[in-house]
Amino acid sequence: MKLNKNTAAILAGMMMSTAFGGTALAATADSFTDVPKDHWAYEALDYLAKDGIIEGMGDNTFQGGRTMTRYEMAAIVAKAMQKSGGSVADKAVLEKLEAEYGGELATLRKQVEKNTAQIEKNKQAIERVNLHGFVRTQYDYDKDTTNEKIDHANNRFYLNLYGDFKVNDNWTAKFQSETNRRYNDGHRRGETGFSNYSEKTWSGHDGNIQRIWADGWFPKSQLWVSVGRTWRGLGGQNILFGNESDGIQFGLPIPGTKLTASGFWMASTWSGNKESLYGVGTWGPVGHCAGINLAFAKSNKSKGDVYSSGQINGYKIHTDAGTGISTIDPVYAENDQHVERSYGYVLSGYVDAAKDLRFLADYVKTNADFQNNSLGLRLNYRNTDLNKPGSYQVYGRYIKYGANGQLAGDDEWGSTPSATKGWILGVKYIPAKNIEWETLYSRQKRGYDQAWAYNRTLFRTQVDYHF
């Protein structure tokens, strides 16, 4: 717009009050590339730009020949009013400008309030949904050195995707999806959870949403609850139990300590499982440099129980004598599951032996008759931080996991199965933000003290890309 006489006079008064009020119109750098230094308005424009009152067109130009709307002028006046605090003359000039553009300023205020409300709504909507996880590239050299066999099953590309959906201030609905794509034996459909002789009842890593659960948090009582199908663990290294399960777990702080007391009921979801576990646990720091993680779990099955998993063992051909029509019928497993133990417990903890040096130990015991205990020792030097490229961890482990020294323990993608003893050396490194590279080497005796025992050498390297 073209400035009317009142506006021109007011702006002139503002410039004069600024100039003669002791504020220099310094021009130490160009604010707008299209305003030459010898232009009569250069110093005034540069001053107003440096003071945040005018912004130009966003590309370092002012475009002085462009027509200005009354709303744009009102926005400049509003910014000038926010930065008021100068002389009485300055305030008088601003009051005149406010009177001249009062209608436009009121409209702008309403628009700002509307935009602010919309931004808050958008923020709440964005915060309600959170997707995160990582993509892994993994290579294993897994050799049975006794029989000269190499297992390629864990050479894979892997996606672990989590979704969090805020329900309200206390509850969050969650899901997890795992996808395995084995890059040198993908023709075997093991990644889907199907096989020639079994039905798919366990959550396979096929890219579907396998796990769905809800987490609740109640700040007043400090109670937390997790209910649904998710991955759960017991003990510091998840030797007693570390598995996908259906169930519920809850926890409360123990007054006067830094410990959490927990109760749970859960059932593993592997194909044909009819066993569930219930029990209690506690974990947390004790003192300045140590912590504990204890749990006891009881099975709903008794030691010595036998039940049928319902898995398909094979097929048989049946021919109807009357019609001569043949059908292929499944043969279901019967009494194929034997319960070797009915309860188990884990005693685990850690000690910070020195700066950057942590020792961890887990001992597990069940009431089985054969190999009913497990031991896991680990020494960590330093820790990785995904936000700190160059950070690293070096670790050493000793494992002696009995054939029945767990209830449903975590085998860490086949690197620490039951009926195994041996050692592991490994290193983790952060080459770039949110990327972790881990490499380990292990020598193990599989099936120790059993007729089928063999020696195993495992080399694994994997890179995780977190998002």
- Smallest CA-to-CA distance from 443 within 427, 458, 463, 461 is with 458
Categorize the per-residue pLDDT at 312 as very low, low, confident or very high, splitting at 50, 70 and 90: confident
Q: Compute the average pLDDT of residues 29-58.
A: 70
Q: Which pair of tokens denotes residue 209?
A: 């949403």
Of residues 146 and 199, more confidently modeled: 146
Q: Compute the average pLDDT of residues 104-133.
A: 87
Return the amino acid letter for 207: G
Which residues are within 8 A (CB) of 372 and not within 5 positions of it... i.e. 6 or more apart? 341, 365, 366, 402, 404, 405
pLDDT at residue 125 tops 60 = yes
Q: Range with the lowest mean pLDDT among 107-111, 178-182, 201-205, 220-224?
A: 201-205
Q: Range with the lowest mean pLDDT among 4-8, 71-75, 108-112, 418-422?
A: 4-8
pLDDT at residue 225 tops 50 = yes
Q: What rounded mean pLDDT belongs to the chain? A: 85
Q: Which pair of tokens denotes residue 236?
A: 């510091």
pLDDT at residue 176 tops 70 = yes
Complete domains list, the chain, with CATH:
5-100 (no CATH), 130-298+344-466 (2.40.160.10), 305-338 (no CATH)
- Round to whole Å and give the CA distance between 150 and 281: 40
**pTM flag (> 0.85):** no
- Round to whole Å and give the CA distance between 34 and 40: 13
Pairing of strands 129-144, 454-466: antiparallel
- Report yes or no: 273 and 247 within 8 Å, Cβ to Cβ: no
Categorize the per-residue pLDDT at 93 as very low, low, confident or very high, splitting at 50, 70 and 90: low
Q: Which pair of tokens denotes residue 64?
A: 């002085």
Task: Quote the longest CA-to-CA distance of the chain.
Answer: 116
